[in-house]
Chain A
Amino acid sequence: MSKRYAFHVNMALCIGCDTCAMACKNQYHQEAGIVWRKVYPVSEAIYPHRDRAWMSLACNHCDNPPCLEGCPASAYTKRDDGVVVHHPDLCIGCQQCLHTCPFGVPQYNPHTKKAEKCSLCWERLDAGLQPACVQGCPTGALTLVDLETFDDPSAIQFPPGFPHLPEVGPSTRFTLPEQPKIVRRES
């Protein structure tokens, strides 16, 4: 059976430390101002507690990637394992993917004058390694899963605070943050 790789973001475990984003930066040395992975704070309107909740996001390697469909230069391809790959040598720098992606993933690099985005570290995957961000996460909140076998019933595709676009089919799965518990002493 073919694999279908995806990120699983366990918001109950994420502490918003940005190590995943730093690990990505450390792996690829993007230009200043360009981030392939970003840790978004979840607003209090969604999670109204003293604790904070976070969403670590990079490319969602969608089932129907708008970047791939909208790219006029065929600079995007999708591998059999679900990874959406951007090919810089084919990119003409038209920035159409920046407009079509509903998750704001592709970034324009003013130095190379091309778009770029998370590759799910496909070179590392092919070498039997984990993506840099997954390897760097100190709490185990960010993991790589195979959606063909992943059957965590608590994982959802569209948590509050994430664009609800079933037709696009983002592959990232989320486990929601836990509700705070109040422990009272019996008097």
Chain B
Amino acid sequence: METLSLPLILFTLLTQAAVGVAVLAAVRQWQTADGPQRPTAEWGTIAGLLVAGVLASFFHLGHPELVWRILTNVGSAWLSREILAFIVFGALVALALWSALRGPVSGWLLKSVAVVGVVALAMMGMTYAPTGQPAINNIWPFVFFMLTAATVGSAVASFFTPAKHQGLLTWVFSTGALISLVIYLAVPCVWLSGDAVVAATGRAFLSSPLYWLYIVIGLVVPLIAVARTRRIPGWLPVLVLFGEFFGRAAFFMLMLTSGSNIGNLY
């Protein structure tokens, strides 16, 4: 059992939210030619989420004054690659914000931000798929992070889109939340049939209040709200963020390591 790492929770949640909003900004322009009503505010929010997440991550480091060393092992460390990808993403977001202050953001820039954002999430998924944690030493972290980006991203993007133009966002949110609900209910059950460490991880999730708080607050209640109102209510993004917070806390705290079972049957 790991300890609660608030900086890591905030870093992953806020950066994933930033990627989600950025990808949706690109998709909206490409798919519907229906850009946000306030592009400057939207890109400012994306930049703010990213900066807040990165600042939070500094509190996770024992020695933030040596943070530059985090890029010295890009050859083999996924964490180095993740940070490099987020640096590129941050630069593109800054360019998009600068561009939004002067007029419409160009299509190639939107697409670039979206692609680099997804690549950064893939790197993040690999970082949190370590050999020592067999339950997530696979593609699940990337899937979890993409789903968070879709749900939180679409919820936050609704702040910048008038209710009558929220069709795409509502569809992305409800589809993402529904897929999340199915996956998050199924995965711990599948883990129960894994080896000793993976099965113990599944039991830890299914018996954890954090996990069920995420299911209820982060997924079920928002899905019911969207189904009833057919749009994303203004209070929903806050509720979704709270729910995701519990889910991410469960992700970091409940994952068991192989080393925790030494001396017992695997």
Q: Which residues of A contact B (CB under 8 A)?
A: 40-43, 45-46, 55, 57, 66, 68-75, 90-96, 99-105, 108, 112-114, 160-165, 168
Contact = CB atoms under 8 A, between A and B. Distances in A.
A48 to B, nearest CB: 11
Given A43-B265, A55-B263, A103-B259, 6 more contacts: A70-B77, A72-B73, A75-B69, A96-B130, A101-B132, A164-B266
A161 B260 CA distance: 11
B259 A46 contact: no
Given A66-B130, A70-B79, A160 B258 contact: no
Contacts of B179: none
A41 B263 contact: yes
Nearest to A75: B69
A68 B257 CA distance: 18
A42 B263 contact: yes
B73 A94 contact: no
A102 B79 CA distance: 17
Q: Interface of chain B, helix or strand or loop or mixed?
A: loop
A105 B259 contact: yes
Contacts of B79: 70, 72, 94, 96
Interface stretch (B59-67, B112-120, B233-241): B59-67
Q: Which of B64, B78, B79, B128 counts the most A-chain CB atoms under 10 A from its CB?
A: B79
Interface residues of B, number: 35
Nearest to A160: B265
Contact of A70 (B62, B78, B258, B260): B78
A69 B76 contact: yes
Contacts of B72: 72-74
Q: Which of A72, A73, A94, A104 counts the most B-chain CB atoms under 10 A from its CB?
A: A72
A105 B70 CA distance: 21
A102 B71 contact: no
Contacts of A168: 131
B132 A104 contact: yes
B264 interface: yes
Interface in B42-56: none
A102 B255 CA distance: 12
B133 interface: yes
27 contacts: A41-B263, A42-B263, A43-B263, A45-B264, A46-B264, A55-B262, A55-B263, A69-B76, A70-B77, A72-B72, A72-B80, A90-B69, A92-B61, A94-B79, A95-B62, A96-B79, A100-B130, A101-B132, A103-B132, A104-B262, A114-B62, A161-B266, A163-B259, A163-B266, A165-B131, A165-B258, A168-B131
A101 B259 contact: yes
A107 B214 CA distance: 30
Q: Interface of chain A, helix or strand or loop or mixed?
A: loop
A168 B130 CA distance: 12
B161 interface: no
B175 interface: no
B127 interface: yes
A103 B260 CA distance: 8
Interface string B79-119: 11001000000000000000000000000000000000000
A74 B130 CA distance: 17
Contact of B71 (A66, A68, A72, A114): A72
A92 B62 contact: yes
A104 B71 CA distance: 25
Contacts of A105: 259
Contacts of A66: 130-132
A92 B132 contact: no
